[in-house]
Chain A
Amino acid sequence: MTQPSFQGTDQYVATEELRSAVNAAMTLSRPLLIKGEPGTGKTLLASEVARSLGMPLFEWHIKSTTKAQQGLYEYDAVSRLRDSQLGDSRVKDIANYILKGKLWEAFECETRPVLLIDEIDKADIEFPNDLLRELDRMDFYVYETRQTVRARHRPLIIITSNNEKELPDAFLRRCFFHYIRFPDEETMRRIVEVHYPKLKQELLREALSTFFKVREVPGLKKKPSTSELLDWIKLLLAEDIPPEALRTDDTHKAIPPLYGALLKNEQDVHLFEQLLFLHRRSAR
């Protein structure tokens, strides 16, 4: 195969499964749908793929009000109306008032681009259905100017979802799917090393073991994720906390320092403190 394949980058650790999913999507020009726990690097994937393979990146961030049409183009009737009032000569050509969307921009790109459609589940429930044809055929028709926009190079489309809404079957059938698993300790070690290469081994070991212990606390509303771990380590480094301080054998100091970076929810912090309290009592 002459085609370049994605191998992860110096800042992004991609597992074998993820690499194979990305490369399959690239070879067959199918959109790749990425799901996974929050903070496992879903959104980051697109920019890292683009960076490592030297492809231009287009990002389309979806909000609850986003319509599928906005990704193609928008006709700015209001400014045309205003211009006509002022006698602007631009008014004659309707093409002046067609605003290109992200999909159009990606279709027009000179080289093969990466298009990120971020958090597709935020949009209205019909949104994915409205994009079926565009993602399948990679072309669309502009009614105002009667032209068909066709992709020069089928972009590599990466779609992320947080599972807030279920996606329609017809849409899923056209996508490749990959669920980013929460990294195991080995992968996590590699991820941390990529971000903080000079981290003391001892601190890393203690930090990771504390981190996985916190994740195992039953009933947490939001388990700390990879990005939270990275934030926490950054704080630990900034505060220059010695590795010994993380060791949880001493039950009196069992709350990890700077835990605010790991637990983002008041109830979780509360639950955690309660568990510690119980633990201490039983230890006595």
Chain B
Amino acid sequence: MLVKFFFLLRSAGVPVSILEFLTLLEALAAGIAQASPERFYHLARTCLVKDERYYDRFDRAFAMFFKGIEAGFAVLTRDLPADWLTKLAERTLSAEEKARVQALGGWEKLMETLKQRLEEQQGRHQGGSKWIGTAGTSPFGAYGYNPEGVRIGQEGSRNRSAVKIWDRREYANLDDQVELGTRNIKLALRGLRRFARRGAATELDLPDTIDSTARSGGWLDIKMVPERHNAVKVLLLLDVGGSMDDHVRICEELFSAARSEFKHLESFYFHNFIYEKLWRDNRRRHAQFMRTDELLRTYHADYKLILVGDATMSPYEIEQPGGSIEHWNEESGRVWLGRLLHHYRKFAWLNPQPAERWRYTQSIAITRKLVEDRMYPLTLAGLDDAIEALS
């Protein structure tokens, strides 16, 4: 009977393995949870769930199973757009925001609100090929959803047709399958490590000790060397907002992974493309910025440059002065990117868009040319290739 529960958990997205399931059975056989649903619940959770992220999913699955309404669950998972939206929200919304969603009257109400907002925004942006939120700088506000995602119900009156949106949905799922978690990213980034000895001498240098002991006629002469440290310097530039909304989670993971792997890691944000300003803190982008030419002076050319962005925008934003969607830029994005790449010779562009879709977007083609074809998809394989290009 519990086998059903096992599969229900898996379909609810709790990563349970057979080994863990057997452990639970073993625990039950040992009589740990005797005839008490609460104790069984605690025991099952202790055995099967290994991350608090999945507690909520577990709880829901547990409730489903023990109220005997598995049917309802199946319907829930088949209803794709809503499910997808829920999943997306689950990933991106904090508990607090979820509570706010509840306060708004739950998902259905929210979807209503979304539609209204959407119509408003469409009116204001008619004819444009891009989508920029009007309300704030962060893609995740109170309505923490992806603006692309909610266009599901609409007929495609613009560049992005309904088909394309379904494709995107597929990508959202794909993302789960690839499992580019922080751990994977970290392991890939380790390839970048370049060790150097610096600091206090704390390690025994065996070859040197043997050598000098032999030279001093057999009297022990211990030699020490400093421990090896990672000496790689990395400059990370991340695209936020606009078309990057879908990818912000991945990028943040990359960012958090990178932070703990390197001693020298400087990170800045940009919006769609590189112009004369970059931001250190995305939330205070209008107050605190770093001029790009200052950046070039501050960080020496031995920094490795990693750009993360989907490079999906109107070609004008790259080619034309004044093409930026946020402000008037004196010089075109092409010029600024050129300056960066001229200064930092070790660079790579990571693109969270799936590689097979690159050729359909003109701006990606242009950017690829600008970065001398050193653009890599944000997958494990792509990351490996990028690391190779950097080292």
- Give me the interface of A with B, judged by CB distance under 8 Å: 1, 16-17, 20-21, 23-25, 27-28, 30, 32-33, 35, 78, 81-82, 85, 125, 164-169, 172-179, 218
- Assess A173 versus B19: contact at CB under 8 Å? Given A78-B204, A166-B182, A179-B52: yes
B38/A30 in contact, CB under 8 A: no
Would you list which residues of chain B between 1 and 53 have a CB under 8 Å from chain A?
A: 15, 17, 19-20, 23, 26-27, 30-33, 38-39, 42-43, 45-47, 49-52
A165/B183 in contact, CB under 8 A: yes
Chain A residues near B26 (CB-CB < 8 A): 28
Chain B residues near A27 (CB-CB < 8 A): 27, 30, 32
Return 11 A-B CB contacts under 8 Å, by A number: A16-B42, A20-B43, A24-B47, A27-B30, A32-B46, A81-B220, A125-B187, A166-B182, A166-B183, A173-B50, A177-B46
B260 contacts the other chain (CB 8 A): yes
B33/A20 in contact, CB under 8 A: yes
Other than the given A28-B26, A173-B50, A177-B49, 4 more pairs (CB < 8 A) read A21-B42, A24-B32, A32-B46, A172-B51
Expressed in whole angstroms, the minimum distance between the Cβ of B44 and any Cβ of chain A is: 10
Chain B residues near A17 (CB-CB < 8 A): 42, 45
Expressed in whole angstroms, the minimum distance between the Cβ of A63 and any Cβ of chain B is: 13
Expressed in whole angstroms, the minimum distance between the Cβ of B205 and any Cβ of chain A is: 11
B181 contacts the other chain (CB 8 A): yes
Q: Mark B140-184, 1 if CB is under 8 A from A, else 0.
A: 000000000000000000000000000000000000000001110
Expressed in whole angstroms, the minimum distance between the Cβ of B189 and any Cβ of chain A is: 10
User: Complex: how many Å from CA A170 to CA B187?
Assistant: 15
User: Complex: how many Å from CA A23 to CA B187?
Assistant: 35
B219 contacts the other chain (CB 8 A): yes
Expressed in whole angstroms, the minimum distance between the Cβ of A66 and any Cβ of chain B is: 14
User: Complex: how many Å from CA A174 to CA B43?
Assistant: 15
B46/A176 in contact, CB under 8 A: yes
User: Complex: how many Å from CA A20 to CA B183?
Assistant: 30
Expressed in whole angstroms, the minimum distance between the Cβ of B20 and any Cβ of chain A is: 6
User: Complex: how many Å from CA A200 to CA B201?
Assistant: 56
Expressed in whole angstroms, the minimum distance between the Cβ of B213 and any Cβ of chain A is: 8
B111 contacts the other chain (CB 8 A): no
- Assess A125 versus B43: contact at CB under 8 Å? Given A27-B30, A35-B52, A173-B50: no
User: Complex: how many Å from CA A27 to CA B43?
Assistant: 12
Cross-chain contact of A24 among B15, B43, B51, B190 (Cβ < 8 A): B43
Expressed in whole angstroms, the minimum distance between the Cβ of B30 and any Cβ of chain A is: 5
A125/B183 in contact, CB under 8 A: yes
B334 contacts the other chain (CB 8 A): no
Nearest residue (CB) in B for A21 is B46
Chain A residues near B27 (CB-CB < 8 A): 24, 27-28
- Assess A166 versus B181: contact at CB under 8 Å? Given A20-B42, A178-B46: yes
User: Complex: how many Å from CA A27 to CA B26?
Assistant: 10
User: Complex: how many Å from CA A178 to CA B51?
Assistant: 8
B98 contacts the other chain (CB 8 A): no
Nearest residue (CB) in B for A175 is B50
5 A-B pairs closest in CB distance: A179-B52, A172-B50, A20-B42, A166-B183, A21-B46
Nearest residue (CB) in A for B190 is A125
User: Complex: how many Å from CA A27 to CA B33?
Assistant: 11
User: Complex: how many Å from CA A125 to CA B15?
Assistant: 21
- Assess A85 versus B32: contact at CB under 8 Å? Given A20-B42, A30-B23: no
B285 contacts the other chain (CB 8 A): no
A177/B50 in contact, CB under 8 A: yes
Chain A residues near B57 (CB-CB < 8 A): none
B222 contacts the other chain (CB 8 A): yes
Expressed in whole angstroms, the minimum distance between the Cβ of B136 and any Cβ of chain A is: 15
B46/A24 in contact, CB under 8 A: yes
B32/A177 in contact, CB under 8 A: no
Chain A residues near B20 (CB-CB < 8 A): 173
Chain B residues near A1 (CB-CB < 8 A): 31
B55/A179 in contact, CB under 8 A: yes
Nearest residue (CB) in B for A218 is B96
Expressed in whole angstroms, the minimum distance between the Cβ of A233 and any Cβ of chain B is: 27
Expressed in whole angstroms, the minimum distance between the Cβ of A81 and any Cβ of chain B is: 6
A82/B220 in contact, CB under 8 A: yes
User: Complex: how many Å from CA A177 to CA B43?
Assistant: 10
B186 contacts the other chain (CB 8 A): yes
Expressed in whole angstroms, the minimum distance between the Cβ of B42 and any Cβ of chain A is: 4
Nearest residue (CB) in B for A86 is B220
Expressed in whole angstroms, the minimum distance between the Cβ of B208 and any Cβ of chain A is: 13
Of B15, B52, B181, B260, most buried by chain A (CB within 10 Å of CB) is B52
Nearest residue (CB) in B for A28 is B27
- Assess A125 versus B186: contact at CB under 8 Å? Given A21-B46, A173-B17, A176-B46: yes
Expressed in whole angstroms, the minimum distance between the Cβ of B232 and any Cβ of chain A is: 16
Expressed in whole angstroms, the minimum distance between the Cβ of B138 and any Cβ of chain A is: 13
User: Complex: how many Å from CA A78 to CA B222?
Assistant: 9
- Assess A85 versus B42: contact at CB under 8 Å? Given A28-B23, A166-B183: no
Chain B residues near A32 (CB-CB < 8 A): 46
